[in-house]
Amino acid sequence: MKFLDQAKIYVRSGDGGDGVVAFRREKYIEFGGPDGGNGGRGGDIVFEAVQNLNTLIDFRYTQHFRAKKGGNGAGSDRTGAGADAVVIQVPVGTQIFDEDRETLLADLDQTGKRITLCKGGDGGFGNANYKTSTNRAPRRADKGWPGEERWIWLRLKLIADAGLVGLPNAGKSTFLSVASAARPKIADYPFTTLHPQLGVVRLSNTEEFVLADIPGLIEGAHEGAGLGDRFLGHVERCAVLLHLIDGAAGDVVAAWRTIRRELEEYGGGLAEKPEIVALNKTDAMTPQQLSSRRRALEKACGAPVLALSAATHGKVAETLRILQDRITAERRDRAS
């Protein structure tokens, strides 16, 4: 299934049904009076977050959603039928923006969460509604109220507990494949990962978390260089970021600063998120190189730096345990 995390669609709720002008005409009722019924309510446009979706690809092929009009009223004070709502199912984590792409209308961040975006129009009154003691035969009936319409943007932000960030070829996809059952594409050239990947990490029967791998960033990503920073939105909801750095590439401090700069330029609170820095590919470094590069990186970031090898599984379990402890603490704080 192709991954798509942005889509523009048109939605329109249904118009209300029309009221009618009608009079009772029974043979043995001399002054029957008005009995025109009201129109029915138009259908709503409702969005619902469901668990079994992880892409917006369906909205590339279906971009217009219209609810039906309410039924017209009828004689004998019969009200028109209300139209059914159009329920649009989207993945959990979908945000709905106005056409300007800045005004947030809804954030469907929980399974089963629903939002009525466009309400259907009310039905018009029939002439029975206008009967009074001085106007016993009204011939007024109203048209139904129009529904609402708008163009909106859908943006998917995957729900993950921890996110992987780093330069291309830092070993993020390899780490994800080792830590979970996910099978991302792995190759020895840059930008192997073209869209975000999710994997579920299970440490025990009661401990698990979702790990997200996004395409690698390069300098100037916030200005559109490489694949840009568009996919950073998928780690905005993470409790912790695992910053993987290719220890065998050389200047590890410059690599760390490049990613930090891009996170700050992107905004969204990513630069303030808890970060665990890890030197990857220890199997491709000598002990002297590992020691010197690790010390330099710890001095630059002001925090302990992990050393691991995703390819040989070295220290991967310990890294996952640290991530799990951070996520558990964040969940506990959120619940309290």
Please tell me whether 311 is known to bind a ligand: yes
Please tell me whether 13 is known to bind a ligand: no
**Tokens 């043979």 found at:** 27
The DSSP H or E segment spanning 328 is: helix 316-335
Residue 229: name the closest of 218, 240, 244, 213 by CA: 218
Please tell me whether 71 is known to bind a ligand: no
Phi and psi angles of residue 59, each rounded to the nearest 5 degrees, phi first: -80, -5
Please tell me whether 300 is known to bind a ligand: no
Q: How far is CA 27 from the centre of its chain?
A: 63
Please tell me whether 213 is known to bind a ligand: yes
Please tell me whether 192 is known to bind a ligand: yes
Q: How far apart are CA 205 and CA 21, in angstroms?
A: 67
Please tell me whether 263 is known to bind a ligand: no
Q: How far apart are CA 92 and CA 29, in angstroms?
A: 60
Please tell me whether 216 is known to bind a ligand: yes
Please tell me whether 116 is known to bind a ligand: no
Please tell me whether 171 is known to bind a ligand: yes
Tokens of 206: 């009661």
Q: Compute how many other C-beta atoms are within 10 angstroms of the C-beta atom of residue 330.
A: 16
Please tell me whether 52 is known to bind a ligand: no
Please tell me whether 310 is known to bind a ligand: yes
Q: How far apart are CA 188 and CA 266, in angstroms?
A: 27
Please tell me whether 281 is known to bind a ligand: yes
Tokens of 220: 């100037």
Q: How far is CA 336 from the centre of its chain?
A: 25
Cα 20–Cα 24–Cα 27 angle in degrees, nearest 5: 155
Q: How far apart are CA 125 and CA 261, in angstroms?
A: 61
Give the DSSP letter of residue 175: H
Please tell me whether 215 is known to bind a ligand: yes
Please tell me whether 172 is known to bind a ligand: yes
Please tell me whether 173 is known to bind a ligand: yes
Please tell me whether 53 is known to bind a ligand: no
Please tell me whether 91 is known to bind a ligand: no
Please tell me whether 304 is known to bind a ligand: no
Please tell me whether 227 is known to bind a ligand: no
Please tell me whether 166 is known to bind a ligand: yes
What residues are designated binding site for Mg(2+)? Answer: 173, 193
What residues are designated binding site for GTP? Answer: 166-173, 191-195, 213-216, 280-283, 309-311
What residues are designated binding site? Answer: 166-173, 191-195, 213-216, 280-283, 309-311
